[in-house]
Amino acid sequence: MSALATRAALLGAEPLVYGRTGPAADLALLARKHLPLVRRIAWHVHGSMSSAIEVEDLVQTGLVALVEAAGSFEDRGAVSFEQYLATRVRGSMIDALRRSATLTRGAMQRRRAYAAAVKALTHESGRAPDDHQIAERLGVTLDKMRTDYAAAEPVRFDSIDEVYADDQPWFASDDPDAFQQLADSDLRDCLIAAIGALPEREAQVVQLYYVEELNLEEIGLVLGVGSARVCQIKASAHARLKKALARAV
């Protein structure tokens, strides 16, 4: 029973394997493990170019880079996967910013032209100009002035205090809290103890079915009984384990 107890204790704790050194990692588990790192890098990059691109877009770019990094990483001991991932994620986000950089420079130029026109017209007439006057000074149509000039915004810095919220998914953590981790640990210990207390035949069936992943007919061949008898033994083991866990709870 020691092998079964050890397997149960380590269930769900297998290390992720990246690249061509082993089987492909589960993408959902991979994302949960490294999403906090992607979020931190996204907010660092977003802090310097907050109006050029949304932080949600940076996170999505980072997740794509995460999947690509997992497939290309080779563990040679010199660089950890986290270091490699941080470089890939930051590089992908900077590339995304560069692709939108021309739009940002154009928006800043239009914004400056709009502000200069308003300032000049106000100085000339002594009052704030209307949209028609500003459009005429800029030499564009009224609609273009409103959409491309008045609405254009230069790069600006946003205080994290103004955008932070506990209920936002970009700040939330998918990791279980301390109480949940403690409860899971207690439940795992109770399950290990309950399995160790099973009669030998029931413990064998549980190990062959859940650990070795044999079906009922294969287990019957190992134990020298029919599949119907194996089903009865498994049901008895389940009943004992449920009672043991119910007492523990």
Of the three residues 71, 99, 127, the one that is the final residue of a domain is 99
**Residue scoring higher pLDDT (37 or 104):** 37
Lowest mean pLDDT of 98-112, 118-132, 145-159, 194-208, name the range: 145-159
User: Which own/partner contact pairs does 88-94 have at CB distance under 8 Å and 24+ positions apart?
Assistant: 89/37, 89/38, 89/41, 89/62, 89/65, 90/41, 90/45, 91/65, 92/61, 92/62, 92/64, 92/65, 93/41, 93/42, 93/45, 93/58, 93/61, 93/62, 93/65, 94/45
Min mean pLDDT across 77-81, 190-194, 199-203, 214-218 is at 77-81
Q: Is the pLDDT of residue 1 over 50?
A: no
Task: Name the residue with tokens 């739009």.
Answer: 103
pLDDT of residue 161: 57
| Together in a domain, 12 and 92 | yes
Residue 196 pLDDT > 70, yes or no? yes
Residue 170 belongs to a domain: no
> Is there a domain that residue 34 lies in?
yes
Residues 67 and 112 occupy one common structural domain: no
Given pLDDT bands bounded at 50, 70 and 90, which one contains residue 127?
A: confident
| 137 in the same domain as 68 | no
Greater confidence (62 vs 27) lies with: 62
Structure-model confidence comparison of residues 222 and 184, the more confident one: 222
Does residue 240 lie in a domain region? yes
Nearby residues of 121 by Cβ (< 8 Å), 6 or more positions away: 129, 133, 134, 137
Q: Do the beta carbons of residue 51 and residue 153 sit within 8 Å?
A: yes
**Is residue 50 scored above 70 in pLDDT?**
no
Task: Quote the pLDDT of residue 24.
Answer: 47
- Whole-number pLDDT of residue 214: 87
Instruction: Give the predicted TM-score (pTM) of the model.
Output: 0.37
Question: What's the pLDDT band for 2 if we cut at 50, 70, 90?
Answer: very low
Whether the per-residue pLDDT at 232 is higher than 90: the answer is yes
DSSP states along 204-231: HHHIIIIIS---HHHHHHHHTS-HHHHH
Tell me if residue 139 falls in helix, strand or coil. Answer: coil
Instruction: Please give the pLDDT value at position 227.
Output: 87
For residues 119 and 131, membership in a common domain is answered with yes
Q: How much is the average pLDDT of 99-127?
A: 78
Instruction: Supply the range of the domain harboring residue 182.
Output: 178-248
Is the predicted pLDDT of residue 27 greater than 90, yes or no? no
Residues 34 and 93 in one domain: yes
Q: How many domains does the chain have?
A: 3
Q: What's the CA gap between 34 and 59, in Å, rounded?
A: 12
Residue predicted with more confidence, 148 or 200? 200
Q: What is the pLDDT of residue 155?
A: 47
Query: Within a domain: residue 169?
Result: no
- Residue 76, pLDDT score: 65
Determine the pLDDT at residue 9: 40
Percent above pLDDT 70 for the chain: 65
Question: 159 to each of 152, 164, 235, how far by Cα in Å?
Answer: 20, 9, 59
Are 110 and 95 within one domain? no
How far is 200 from 231, CA to CA, in rounded Å?
A: 15
- Pair (84, 49) in one structural domain: yes
- Which of 55, 70, 99 is where one domain is finished? 99
Residue 50 lies in a domain: yes
For the segment 216-226, the average pLDDT, to the nearest whole number, is: 88
Highest mean pLDDT among 37-51, 100-114, 190-204: 190-204
C-alpha–C-alpha distance, residues 224 and 217, integer Å:
10
The verdict on 217 and 141 lying in the same domain is no
